[in-house]
Amino acid sequence: MSRYQYRADELLVHVDDCGLIRSELAGHGYRAADRRGPLLRFVGEPDRRAVPDLLAELRARHGTGLRVSPNHVFTCDRIIWGLLRPRPTDKSLPEPPPVGAGEQVRVGVVDVGVVERDGEPHPYLRGRVEYGPDDVDTVARDAEGNPTGSAGHGTFVSALVVREAPNAVVHMKGVIDKTSGEVEDLAVAAAVDALRAEGVTLINLSFSGSTWEDSAPRAIENALRRLDSDVVVVCAAGNRGTSGVQFPAGTVLRRERVEDPEPAKVLAVGAATPDDEPAVAAFSGYGPWVSVYASGVDVVGPYFEPGYPEGYHGWAIWSGTSFAAATVTGWIAARMGDGRTARAVADELLASPPGKVEVFDVNGPRDVPFVRGLGSA
C-alpha cells in the first residue's frame, strides 16, 4: 500500500506537458476532464493502469521534469474517534466581545464546514462565521451513533481562531468530506482561489498528508502561488509523530524568477504542551520544516449540542496540530489591522516570538517560536 493517499483514477498534468503524454494517457484509459489553473485533471477508466505504476513509466520515458502527479488526498488525520478523539468536558470558552468591537479581520478556513443547530452555528460562533449551504457540516454517524469522518472539526477550528481574535470573522470553505474526513488537492486549490477572490489574506489549512516523491501537491502549490505576497497560509504539521515532511504545511514558495514578486508565506505549525516549559507533543509532526509550535494538547472548544454525543455538553477537549494551527491563525488575526498585514505579523512572530519551545534534531537543540493559546483546558 502506498504511504500517500490519492484518487485512484486521476492524474494532474500541467497544460504545457499535455501534448507530450496525452496519447499515452489515452492508451491507458485516461481522458482530460477539467482544469484548475495550469493543471488538467485526467480521469481513468476501469481498465486503467495504477497511478504509481503509470507515473513511474511516464517519468522513465520523459524524464523527471515531467509535470504530472497524483490528485493527492489529505486528512484531519487520527483525530475523529481514533487516537486523538475528543473528550467530554463541562468547561467552555468565555464569550468573546461583540463582533462590532474593533476592526474586523477576515480569516479563511478550509475545513469540513460548520455544524448547525436549528439552522444556526454553535452559539459561540454566531455572527462570527460566514458560510453557504455547501459549507454546512452534516454529521455522519457510525453504528453506535458517534460522529465519524471529520464531523465537528470545522466548528472547533473556527472557534479557536475567534478565541484568539475576537475581531475575526471566519470565511468557511467546507470542502473536506463529511464522512471520510478526506479532501483532494484540486478541491483545496479551488477553495484557496475562492478566498483569494474574496480578498482574504489569512488562511487556515488544518489537514495534512504525505505526497508522491515528497514534493508539494501541485494544485495546492499553484493556488498558493496565485496569492499576493502579504497573504499568510497557516497549515497543520500533521499528527503522525514523525519528522517526515507533511503537506501542504511543508510547501516552500520561492521566487521562480528574480523579477517575480515575493510569494505568500506558508507557516507549518506543530503542537506542543501549554506548560510553562512547553514540549513538542508526542503525536505532532516535527523537524526543521516546522516553523512554529502552539498549544495543541487538551484544547477546549465548541462541539455539537448538549447531550450529543452521549455525555457531552456542547463542548469538548481535543488535541491535534489542527488546533495548534488555528491558535496561530487567531494569534496573527488579533494583531492585524491599522495597516498591519498578516505577512507583517507573521514575520514578527518568527523574529520576536512570544515564547519558545526547545526541539532536538540531528543538529542538536534549537529554539522554535511558540504561541501559548487561550483555549487550553
Q: Which residues are catalytic?
A: 111, 153, 322
Quote the cell numbers at residue 40.
Answer: 488538467
- Report the C-alpha gap between 358 and 69 in whole angstroms: 36
Provide the β-strand partners of residue 315.
302
Q: Do residues 131 and 172 touch, judged by C-beta distance below 8 A?
A: yes
Please state whether beta strands 292-295 and 299-306 pair in parallel, antiparallel, or not at all (unpaired).
unpaired
- Report the C-alpha gap between 245 and 240 in whole angstroms: 10
* Residue in 269, 320, 277, 331 with CA at minimum distance from that of residue 296: 320
Cis-peptide, bond into residue 369, ω within 30° of zero: no
- Report the C-alpha gap between 11 and 101 in whole angstroms: 47
Quote the cell numbers at residue 109.
Answer: 478556513
- Residue 153: CB partners within 8 Å, gap ≥ 6? 76, 79, 80, 111, 112, 137, 176, 181, 206, 322
- Report the C-alpha gap between 367 and 373 in whole angstroms: 18
- Report the C-alpha gap between 343 and 189 in whole angstroms: 20
Quote the cell numbers at residue 102.
Answer: 474593533
- Report the C-alpha gap between 90 and 315 in whole angstroms: 7
Q: Do residues 44 and 28 touch, judged by C-beta distance below 8 A?
A: yes
